[in-house]
Structure 1
Amino acid sequence: MKYRLGIDVGGTNTDAVILDEHLQVINSIKVHTTADIESGIYAAMHQVIQQAKIAPQQITHAMLGTTQCTNAIVERKHLAKVGVIRLAYPASVAIVPYTAWPTSMVKVLSGKYEIIHGGSEYSGQPISAFDENELKKVLDKWQGQVEAIAVIGVFSSIKPEQEVRTAQLIKQQYGDDFPVSLSATIGSIGLIERENATILNAALDKVMRRTADGFTQSLVQEGVKNAQTYLCQNDGTLMSIDYAKAYPILTIGSGPTNSIRGAAYLAKVKQAMVLDIGGTTADLGVLVNGFPRESSIAVQVGGIRTNFRMPDIVSIGLGGGSIVRENSTGEITVGPDSVGYQIEEKALVFGGDTLTTTDIAVRLGQAKVGDPEKVAQIDLAFAKRAAAKIKAMLENAIDQMKTSRDAVDLVLVGGGEIIAPTELAGVRQISRNPQGPVANAIGASIAQISGDFEKIYSYEKVQRERALKEAEKLANQQAVAAGAKATSLSLVDVNETPLAYAPGKTTKVRVKVVGDLA
């Protein structure tokens, strides 16, 4: 028998599941996330394998969903010193790299940048001639001062050749292992937002290498020596370790999408709204054809505006560990602060001294955890008012995600789902599953591999059919590079966006394919 191991690291809990070759859940475990992350991952892995009573050598695939990259950006820790090369001169000099960035982040990343000759117009014509000697002078100046480089060319999504050549020259001088991020492979149209995403991707190099190596070493330590390893990316699919090291930014937002994919699997639905309530936050997303709906607007990551692919998620400060208070005016507040992974120490039902949403759920008979006698003193009217506040917060979040006034089907997952009411305004029916608390780890372990390719074409210069075939071919190549089996690939989405400001029937084409694990 062959098995899969899925692990998802959240802010409060680290979840692990074992699935058999028929993708049936054999065992699941939930442990508290540790400060160093790695020991929590190992503890969850060890316990779930021991309880499942299987040999570690029988695990053939191991998947990890982690918030480490997100945390590194938010906390400004463990990031690489980045040099930014923009191919654009004399264009774009009025708005230099790092414009509108938080100063705390710029200091951490070094703030080094150069705008040199190069770049293209939307027609593909060069802005100015690319000068290799100019680039080499910059690299000489930066030698030993930067740990990664982000390369951004104006309209490189049309002509990426200058970015590719720049990367070749950097590696010639700095070594083949030196990390280089190219904007043509990361962001969408929009120079500054694409540049920002590319800089962040370069900055996350050290974080991802440490995360990936730590995961691999934990597997070996536990005796899982025959497994192919993957990391979760934020469209609900997987990528190989090597691909994740090249594109660490794609792990940002992967936690909620794991839950969405896991919820789809458990509820056996492809169209629904998913509510994942953890210990600290509640994340709301939408299933479209079995995959998370993507955001159509620029997304702020750690206070930095970007335009790379991100899931359309609404997060609110409401979870099973959220602290409940009554202020001086008699108003009840819930969160956004939470006892988090210390819930079994601080919540009243576990003998603590902090009133949480879990205590309210137990007092009202919605959940059976801890000792109900320890919350018996909570005034019933107060508990009902707190529950009404929780209900209103969830209903408001649901309303934000809806695209029409029609009622929706809701799949409820997460370890904090016990605090949710049985009925919500605007919801037709609520689906729950006994495995819902570990839906995120299930989503990690059942995911496929995707390839996502985007390019701008002029349909007057390239026939539409030819452009679409080329885009699909390149998306297939990305999927295979990320770890997909070539013979299993299927086209799941084609998006064509005409660019009204550009001549020649200029259209942005985006193609997505998915396939099974190789």
Structure 2
Amino acid sequence: MRIGIDVGGTNTDAVLLDGRQVLAAVKTSTTQDVTSGIVAAIDGLQAQRAFDPAQVRAVMIGTTHFINALVEARRLAPTAAVRLSLPAGASLPPMVDWPARLVDAISGRSYLCHGGHEFDGRHIAELDEAELRKAADEMGRAGVRSVAISSVFSPVNAEFETRAAEVIAAELPEVAISLSHEIGRIGLLERENATIINAALRELAAHIVDGLATSVSGAGITAPLYLSQNDGTLMDVDFARRYPVATFASGPTNSMRGAAVLSGVDTCAVVDVGGTTSDVGVLGNGFPREATTDVSVAGIRTNFRMPDVLSIGIGGGSRVRGGTGDVTVGPDSVGYELTAKALVFGGDTLTATDIAVAAGRAEIGDPSRVAHLDRELVRAALDRIAADAAESVDRMRTSAEPLPVVAVGGGSILLPDTLAGVGGVHRPEHYAVANAIGAAIAQIGGEVDRVYAIEPGRRDAVVDEAKQEALDRAIAAGASPSSVDIVDFDEVPIPYLPGNATRIRAKAVGDLQLGD
């Protein structure tokens, strides 16, 4: 058996699976400290379908802890950014495009040092270790607890980042260090930003992961704990401590993976309607389509791996305002206070959930409390939700070919059975907890994303080498060797680099290998 848990802004969902059979499913309110909500969710599963904790072989959790900490600018570690670029790359210092409140929240300090590579692999300048030691001394006196190291074109050659980390670690052994070539892609400022975010979250990551592990073990479960990544795969707790940014947008990803499993449709658009927002994404071969452009996170441009998701402010907790002719739904929401503020629960705020109950689409709370609502207002609100959802799906399509639509999430009761211009909507069994199911059935992945210099006649050998490395990484991360396969492969020549330079990205995925 496995337990899958997904922590959203409004609800914490949990499922107990035996293979792919759903034995129990619960939806509880997300608590302010989140971990107590996880405990309540596990208790809810036990109450619904009693199970022996010793029979649980793995627990998978998708969490919003880290993205929330960044958005809310709290619990972030004092962080320094070290850029290896001098004498080039000095015109735009680290964090130049960050919101001031986030720079203040991490007590952001930056250091420009010699080093880095040209696009063809030549050194911009040699690494100055004395310069790095001086910077480390200043960091120590300033109370820096986490360091982000970025070097120009480090995805081509990471030698300077690796050596700089060794120098700084020798001077500041207690400081956490994040390296940009392990996190972002080509594009210095965006890669550097992603690395600084990761560094600022490292301290919190250790605390949160320990808290999640305590929550699970407190329920008597001794099985290994995994966290969901934003590409639909899992990472173990040690990886999560080092790379907390990998959890960003894992919620929508879990929902999309769950939608594919529940509906049996692995190439489709998925509309996940939660309590606060609706996330629209596209699945290809059962995995989310990745964003190909820079992604803004809390107002910061980044280029690390993220799913291509369009979010709109419509969910079960969305506030409904206006009259029949000018009704609006969202974008603000009562969030986890839904059970206190919605009309059907005795509150005084008209929400999308109240509209669904008034329309007879849901039996939640006390329907008599919304019996007075104007029928035209109810219809207008539902039409507005349907129109916004249809527009979002249309924006995510990349061709005129028909794309099946699968609706999941507790709020998907707000959607009609057909979307104008899009077609029929599939709403599979257990749709309300698709996100937790997506977490529970997630697999283990390994990825290679690197620039290779391909000599004449060696293209096939280089491709095979990249694919094999991706397979090996998946197996090393815990995938069953017999189940691992390449699920995504890109090969893009880079004409401005010499030596037939080609960016190759290979992604391998396999089933989680669990001990008996």
Task: Name the TM-score class by shorter chain.
Answer: over 0.9
Q: Does the Cα contact within 8 Å between 2:117 and 2:154 map onto a contact in 1?
A: yes
The structure 2 residue matched to 1:351, chosen from 333, 346, 351, is 346
The answer to whether 1:34 aligns with 2:44 is no
Looking at structure 2, the residues matched to 56 and 258 of structure 1 have their Cα atoms a distance apart, in angstroms, of: 24
Superposed displacement of residue 246, structure 1: 1.1
Looking at structure 2, the residues matched to 272 and 142 of structure 1 have their Cα atoms a distance apart, in angstroms, of: 49
Looking at structure 2, the residues matched to 137 and 17 of structure 1 have their Cα atoms a distance apart, in angstroms, of: 52
Superposed displacement of residue 458, structure 1: 2.1
The structure 1 residue matched to 2:313, chosen from 300, 317, 320, is 317
Match of 2:4 in 1: 6
Question: Secondary structure at the residue paired with 1:143?
Answer: helix
Note the alpha carbon deviations across 1:434-474, whole angstroms, 9 max, x for none: 31100000000000011121111122379222322332233
The structure 2 residue matched to 1:222, chosen from 219, 230, 246, is 219
Distance 1:77 1:462, change over 3 A: farther
Matched-pair identity in % = 49
Note the alpha carbon deviations across 1:19-50, whole angstroms, 9 max, x for none: 11x22111011100011111111111122133
Note the alpha carbon deviations across 1:453-507, whole angstroms, 9 max, x for none: 1111122379222322332233234324433334432111111112232233221
Count of aligned positions = 512
Q: Does the Cα contact within 8 Å between 2:342 and 2:354 map onto a contact in 1?
A: yes
The structure 2 residue matched to 1:306, chosen from 289, 299, 302, is 302
Match of 2:98 in 1: 101
Looking at structure 1, the residues matched to 11 and 87 of structure 2 have their Cα atoms a distance apart, in angstroms, of: 50
Superposed displacement of residue 331, structure 1: 1.1
Looking at structure 2, the residues matched to 284 and 71 of structure 1 have their Cα atoms a distance apart, in angstroms, of: 20
1:123-202 to 2 correspondence within 5 Å?
A: 123-144=120-141, 145-175=143-173, 178-202=175-199
Match of 1:239 in 2: 235
Residue ranges of structure 1 left out of the alignment (5+ in a row): none
Q: Which amino acid aligns with 2:110?
A: Y
Looking at structure 2, the residues matched to 429 and 512 of structure 1 have their Cα atoms a distance apart, in angstroms, of: 32
The structure 1 residue matched to 2:371, chosen from 346, 353, 376, is 376
RMSD of aligned residue pairs (Cα, Å) = 1.6
Note the alpha carbon deviations across 1:272-304, whole angstroms, 9 max, x for none: 110100111111110101100000100000100
Please say which of residues 186-195 and 483-492 is displaced more in the overlay: 483-492
Looking at structure 1, the residues matched to 354 and 498 of structure 2 have their Cα atoms a distance apart, in angstroms, of: 62
Q: Does the Cα contact within 8 Å between 2:275 and 2:335 map onto a contact in 1?
A: yes
Match of 1:450 in 2: 445
Match of 1:279 in 2: 275
Match of 1:213 in 2: 210
Question: Secondary structure at the residue paired with 1:494?
Answer: strand
Q: Does the Cα contact within 8 Å between 1:68 and 1:207 map onto a contact in 2?
A: no
Note the alpha carbon deviations across 1:351-374, whole angstroms, 9 max, x for none: 222211122222222222223222
Match of 1:418 in 2: 413
Distance 1:483 1:82, change over 3 A: farther
Superposed displacement of residue 307, structure 1: 0.5
Match of 2:287 in 1: 291
Looking at structure 1, the residues matched to 286 and 467 of structure 2 have their Cα atoms a distance apart, in angstroms, of: 20
Distance 1:52 1:369, change over 3 A: same
Q: Does the Cα contact within 8 Å between 2:325 and 2:380 map onto a contact in 1?
A: no
Question: Secondary structure at the residue paired with 2:3?
Answer: strand
The answer to whether 1:471 aligns with 2:466 is yes
Q: Which amino acid aligns with 1:342?
A: E
Looking at structure 1, the residues matched to 33 and 328 of structure 2 have their Cα atoms a distance apart, in angstroms, of: 31
Superposed displacement of residue 394, structure 1: 1.0
Superposed displacement of residue 516, structure 1: 1.8
Match of 2:16 in 1: 18
The structure 1 residue matched to 2:394, chosen from 384, 393, 399, is 399
Looking at structure 1, the residues matched to 286 and 96 of structure 2 have their Cα atoms a distance apart, in angstroms, of: 38
Distance 1:487 1:89, change over 3 A: farther
Match of 2:495 in 1: 500
Q: Does the Cα contact within 8 Å between 1:461 and 1:504 map onto a contact in 2?
A: no
Q: Which amino acid aligns with 2:270?
A: V
The answer to whether 1:260 aligns with 2:256 is yes
Superposed displacement of residue 72, structure 1: 0.8
Looking at structure 2, the residues matched to 389 and 104 of structure 1 have their Cα atoms a distance apart, in angstroms, of: 35
Query: Structure 1: which 4+ aligned runs deviate by more than 4 Å?
Result: none
Superposed displacement of residue 167, structure 1: 1.7
Looking at structure 2, the residues matched to 390 and 96 of structure 1 have their Cα atoms a distance apart, in angstroms, of: 43
Looking at structure 1, the residues matched to 488 and 413 of structure 2 have their Cα atoms a distance apart, in angstroms, of: 36
TM-score (norm 2): 0.96
Superposed displacement of residue 244, structure 1: 1.0
Distance 1:474 1:82, change over 3 A: farther
Note the alpha carbon deviations across 1:410-442, whole angstroms, 9 max, x for none: 111001111111210132321112311000000
Looking at structure 1, the residues matched to 469 and 15 of structure 2 have their Cα atoms a distance apart, in angstroms, of: 34
Looking at structure 2, the residues matched to 11 and 462 of structure 1 have their Cα atoms a distance apart, in angstroms, of: 53
TM-score (norm 1): 0.96
Please say which of residues 113-122 and 311-320 is displaced more in the overlay: 113-122
Residue ranges of structure 2 left out of the alignment (5+ in a row): none
Looking at structure 2, the residues matched to 310 and 381 of structure 1 have their Cα atoms a distance apart, in angstroms, of: 40
Distance 1:15 1:232, change over 3 A: same
Q: Does the Cα contact within 8 Å between 1:408 and 1:429 map onto a contact in 2?
A: no
Match of 2:247 in 1: 251
Superposed displacement of residue 118, structure 1: 1.1
Distance 1:352 1:110, change over 3 A: closer
Looking at structure 1, the residues matched to 236 and 457 of structure 2 have their Cα atoms a distance apart, in angstroms, of: 33
Q: Does the Cα contact within 8 Å between 1:18 and 1:49 map onto a contact in 2?
A: no
Q: Does the Cα contact within 8 Å between 2:5 and 2:14 map onto a contact in 1?
A: yes
The structure 2 residue matched to 1:57, chosen from 45, 54, 57, is 54
The answer to whether 1:118 aligns with 2:115 is yes
The answer to whether 1:366 aligns with 2:361 is yes
Q: Which amino acid aligns with 2:252?
A: P
Superposed displacement of residue 114, structure 1: 1.2
